[in-house]
Structure 1
């Protein structure tokens, strides 16, 4: 597929606005050297005048670019994996630094959305770029072919649109838009590079207005804005009905619009109104009156401090979020929303299974579902082949760009294509002719899974084809039909082929209880007998939110100490089994990987993790210490890091504080910096879809290398009283300074006791089992404390940590 042999080591980003600086950060995240350029200021700032600087001074010339980069880095969530990433970014300006682009492999233009300005920038680029250098434009609205007009043949052949979605680190969509002149191997290269190295879902688009995701996404939002008026719905109702229950982000519709900015949506919809005169839904791109008034009032969302919602302070000083009444355009307190349909979907875990309930419901939520989705079904079927020849690209774009769990054709499949036709007709919607032809030929769905491979309906050939590139991913859902070897209520063991089996959690938030532990032990037993290795990974929203604290709370309240002791021992033994089995065990975390999920990673032979992994030992928050081997493991790692010429207590202190402050990494890179990952024992999969396949490949590699069972450690150096003195003194200082509560002080002392190996009279070498016994004892004694139980209760009942 990837005939173009290109190495991307250095990238130039032209334009440092919101998108430019963040795209630069993301390339630096993946290890690329970046040069970020912008215009030089035309006049001095007041501060520069005071300092007596002149316009030609380097500080002045690079003020715009440096301010933009600093602003980006301070935003939350952060565009960078770690502060160290910034070392890879250098800045400059168009006047002085354009000649440098001759030494770069890829030039990305992200200047203001104005065709004239973009063409001017490319004229300058062409003076300095080396022939063969890749040039792309990040635009959301300007036709790509128009930008390259007047450029050389070599420029045109190496020019393409690359539309990143904001924020580029977190939103997975990268639209690739070639022009008639772009060489095909360059398109293949970008599709592959975006997927493998940038971690994106790369979607090939035609050069049509707003490409794929914004064309369909903005249609969907605009249709909804008109329906709100027609159906007399409130802002809160819409956000309740179009949020997580539908497999959409928590910010749903109006809250998302506030975050992105109403002006952005207005700009795209006006562009579509002007540029798509023949679109059947043309009139829907006209702004409803209330949106026009919001635009006139400059109520554009978070950037203007008010949009569909407005944050205020009550007379008592409490923060309140008011909602906009769309009829009176006044802000009022939010109203509670009830829906029988939503209640019915609550117990249904799989998003696709909820769709039939929405389609058949009798209340406002169901009415809105039918009105918006039946229109969307017609719209997307009409967009083929205009915006894409293949239907799966539209679904890919909507999932990756708008954060939908299911794309429009997947929702249609879940409702049932035939079943929806009557309802569509009643609401005045007719699907495109190819849909009725497909049904008439006996094909009843857009997708089907055969032999673990997901296939899509290909319209020109009237048959099902495998989604290109999907053979490089392992999607557990596609293997469920005939590859499950064993399962219980909390986990399944799935055969990944080639002698590797996978343990998949499927409890709420993938918390770890007895059934999960049983499944891990079962999988290792099976692998030691008949397979070559085990992967612990899943396709859930999070890898694991940690141990099932509700279960611990019940046992502690009932004072079932023997059972709790056995449960903790089983947890510890499972972590140890992950490390000391005769086959390799690879853990594949992503997103939240807390508590027990982190402890499994600490004990794995190898951790293959997604770039977006938020890993940490957070047990302090519920009033205990890590009890599944985490406290022991940090003592062991501190011991391995003690160096003869250093003060050993400092190493111990760093390890201690990571647990004591419940530090959670904000990325996989930071998980290494915090000591959760070890050098040479982890690798990062940029693309989440590749995670299980990459973990399987690693397990095979370890098995092929002649994996042998490690030997349990008996040489862990602990500091005894010498270390305890430091821990106790530190905890006492924090307590007297009012930084921690008395209970925090007690937990700190317990953790110190474990990590120092108790009050041994001098530094001593101990076994892992000795430390595990201390860890379990400390964990159980803390479970007997009233304040710990109050903390656990707060997490279980309110989902909020309590600092008591």
Structure 2
């Protein structure tokens, strides 16, 4: 094994994509230099400097920590080409014009280091045509790489080799993209628009065509083709607006220019409505108008017939919404096909069009069916890929229906389904691999070393792979938790409650897991099986579980439960083997407290962490404020404690939630030496490695801390600011009460400044405040509001 280490990346082109790719490299601690043309006036690197400023304003944020923008090195093609000689990977990301790209390549190729990989980030131009004019040596190191927008959040990267690309270059790049940048890599053939855009944009065009045919408005179509189908909530037309109608038009044009012999060619005609919008400058979200337009607080929709904007917000028919709720995919598809409702007929039509298209084109556009499914899941935000949907809905029956529609002239073209569709199969995904139409075999998953780091790879429906819910050896399992291992000396605790909330069952599970780990294992990892699929680490304490206690015995009945939660967290902190929290997604309230008490945290970059109890009118009661006081004292190391305390106080009092793991480090919820992982599929592997390493290095739990506190002085200083906020109308009286209580706890209460207290003293203060608030009518209003609507009540 030879290490492929990317010491520095160059990104050519500081447009929207180029700048965001550079930002994501910086997120991952990869040094990066961003190039663009020299500015005509002002500083020569003005174009790049403006692009970097813009990164700080974009939402969703491309940078995990805005301050890291300073690490992007700036350059222009006139003065700085020498910098390229020190780069191992060069990604060109300028506008989608073959002639411009070729001009740039002429300029930069003399400066490319002899072992560097050179890649073009293009959404659909021919990689082979782009490499024309290179010498054989550079051709062997050139490939296409296609990031999806926004690059930090979209999991998909398509890798496109040419016939001349050296295979080991592609393997090395796949490893770097997967682990360092956290991506899901799909290898595509060098065909127009590759896989995801070819299938996805066809799907959008087919949807527009069928919507017109069935007379459905854009808002109804978006309601039908969004969350209800397990796809991105923006549906079809809203997605087009977000992507940009000019960008979409560009991708469609690539299809028109290169696919004349495709039987679906007629579908690639630019829809008239799209052409009109682009001509009028209504390019979607960035222009303030597209298929939708924001007028004041209202979102209006384009009426195709009238050519003007009218009130929007129409939803799918209730009867169709009910059909889509059917759990059995076979029944669901049958109901849609047999229904006379135009919306149901429309849905069957877009499914049929997609199945027809992918079956017909699989051989030419992709190595196998799995790559098409992953491309759509990771690039377009579908929960289930199109081949998976077909297979789950009954392969043979669907194939027959599609054929019937083609024969009856209902399909988008009369091209026949390929023969392999009817060879008696029950689908395209099997435990041996996924069907490849070009090699007529089932292709297994890639065996590259990078995938050894993924205990549970992204699953494919029908492939029968082990998942984190059932794999390994179970030590104990009930409705709340599963305690298990994979024969590698590390015990795993997985939560099974909804959103992994913490109730009595989870606390029991924590106690059992610690006892078992101390007896028989090197460490304990807290990890949830849906970590890589966007699940939560834990959304906090289980308020529903508290209700029966509250109803039967009032506030007093809840106190023992809070006390138990505090002690369970303390047991994690002082366990005799290392406890590692593997965090991904939401870690809120009690979930944040649970994580703070582990010996170490391994967090996915996409971790949203915070003490949010004030949202339900409570203060953190599971040791979160106690930890804040402990951490502030540690940070201060005897200097002005209050400076450090204010940061922790503000985060808890405003219920601030980190927008990334990097920001959580800045907020103090993660330590500087906690590990940030970019690919959530690698979370479990890294957490286990950390736990074993800590044990093997002779781990001992921390000694019970005595905590120096800010006392009355801290309380008074923080409260003075709160009074100004209350009197200025920025916070309510109840927020003020919560704020003063938090200030009192993190300051250690009515003691002299610099007094030393125990952790238990702070926990007792937390619990007392928590109990007092539970009795408060304003808090009860907030709790009921949150449970009924899921939104915080401001009172």
TM-score (norm 1): 0.90
Aligned partner (choices 282, 289, 293) of residue 306 of structure 1: 289
Identify if the C-alpha distance between structure 1 residues 309 and 704 changes in structure 2 by more than 3 Å, giving closer, same or farther: same
Deviation of the 1:114 alpha carbon: 1.4
Deviations 1:307-341 (A, max 9, x none): 2211112xxxxx11112223323322222433335
1:493·1:502 contact (CA, 8 Å) conserved in 2? yes
2:786 is equivalent to residue 795 of structure 1: yes
Identify if the C-alpha distance between structure 1 residues 762 and 480 changes in structure 2 by more than 3 Å, giving closer, same or farther: closer
Deviation of the 1:110 alpha carbon: 1.4
Matches within 5 A, 1:225-240: 225-240=208-223
User: Residue 382 of structure 1 corresponds to which residue in structure 2?
Assistant: 360
2:664 is equivalent to residue 686 of structure 1: no
2:655 is equivalent to residue 672 of structure 1: no
Identify if the C-alpha distance between structure 1 residues 288 and 150 changes in structure 2 by more than 3 Å, giving closer, same or farther: closer
Deviation of the 1:466 alpha carbon: 4.0
Deviation of the 1:736 alpha carbon: 2.4
**Secondary structure of 1:478's partner?**
coil
Supply the distance in 1 between the matched residues of 2:510 and 2:700 (Cα, whole angstroms).
Answer: 19
Supply the distance in 2 between the matched residues of 1:635 and 1:455 (Cα, whole angstroms).
Answer: 53
Gaps of 5+ in 1: 45-58, 314-318
Deviation of the 1:739 alpha carbon: 2.5
Matches within 5 A, 1:695-734: 695-711=687-703, 713-734=704-725
Report how many aligned residue pairs link the two structures. 767
Deviation of the 1:801 alpha carbon: 2.0
User: Residue 427 of structure 2 corresponds to which residue in structure 1?
Assistant: 445
User: Residue 462 of structure 2 corresponds to which residue in structure 1?
Assistant: none
Supply the distance in 2 between the matched residues of 1:532 and 1:421 (Cα, whole angstroms).
Answer: 53
2:417 is equivalent to residue 435 of structure 1: no
Deviations 1:343-400 (A, max 9, x none): 465596xxxx667535534455543332222221222222233112222111221111
Deviation of the 1:471 alpha carbon: 4.4
Identify if the C-alpha distance between structure 1 residues 204 and 402 changes in structure 2 by more than 3 Å, giving closer, same or farther: same
Supply the distance in 2 between the matched residues of 1:434 and 1:301 (Cα, whole angstroms).
Answer: 41
User: Residue 241 of structure 2 corresponds to which residue in structure 1?
Assistant: 258
Deviation of the 1:260 alpha carbon: 0.8
Deviation of the 1:448 alpha carbon: 4.2
Identify if the C-alpha distance between structure 1 residues 402 and 462 changes in structure 2 by more than 3 Å, giving closer, same or farther: same
Identify if the C-alpha distance between structure 1 residues 697 and 382 changes in structure 2 by more than 3 Å, giving closer, same or farther: farther
Matches within 5 A, 1:391-470: 391-428=369-406, 431-437=417-423, 440=424, 444-448=426-430, 455-457=433-435, 460=439, 462-463=441-442, 465-469=444-448, 470=451
User: Residue 563 of structure 2 corresponds to which residue in structure 1?
Assistant: 569
Matches within 5 A, 1:570-719: 570-644=564-638, 646-680=639-673, 682-711=674-703, 713-719=704-710
Matches within 5 A, 1:778-789: 778-789=769-780
Identify if the C-alpha distance between structure 1 residues 28 and 482 changes in structure 2 by more than 3 Å, giving closer, same or farther: closer
Supply the distance in 2 between the matched residues of 1:274 and 1:175 (Cα, whole angstroms).
Answer: 21
2:403·2:417 contact (CA, 8 Å) conserved in 1? no
Matches within 5 A, 1:217-232: 217-232=200-215
1:341·1:357 contact (CA, 8 Å) conserved in 2? no
Question: Which range is displaced more, 623-632 or 687-696?
Answer: 687-696
1:175·1:205 contact (CA, 8 Å) conserved in 2? yes
Supply the distance in 2 between the matched residues of 1:700 and 1:340 (Cα, whole angstroms).
Answer: 54
2:618·2:779 contact (CA, 8 Å) conserved in 1? yes
Deviations 1:730-769 (A, max 9, x none): 3223222333221111111111222222212453322222
Identify if the C-alpha distance between structure 1 residues 390 and 464 changes in structure 2 by more than 3 Å, giving closer, same or farther: closer
Supply the distance in 2 between the matched residues of 1:423 and 1:200 (Cα, whole angstroms).
Answer: 37
**Secondary structure of 1:569's partner?**
helix
Deviation of the 1:662 alpha carbon: 1.8
Supply the distance in 2 between the matched residues of 1:280 and 1:408 (Cα, whole angstroms).
Answer: 20
User: Residue 231 of structure 2 corresponds to which residue in structure 1?
Assistant: 248
2:494·2:526 contact (CA, 8 Å) conserved in 1? yes
**Secondary structure of 2:669's partner?**
coil
Query: Pairwise CA RMSD of aligned residues?
Result: 2.5
2:302 is equivalent to residue 324 of structure 1: yes
Gaps of 5+ in 2: 458-465
Aligned partner (choices 748, 752, 773) of residue 764 of structure 2: 773
Matches within 5 A, 1:83-232: 83-232=66-215
Identify if the C-alpha distance between structure 1 residues 292 and 111 changes in structure 2 by more than 3 Å, giving closer, same or farther: closer
Supply the distance in 1 between the matched residues of 2:32 and 2:740 (Cα, whole angstroms).
Answer: 46
User: Residue 750 of structure 1 corresponds to which residue in structure 2?
Assistant: 741
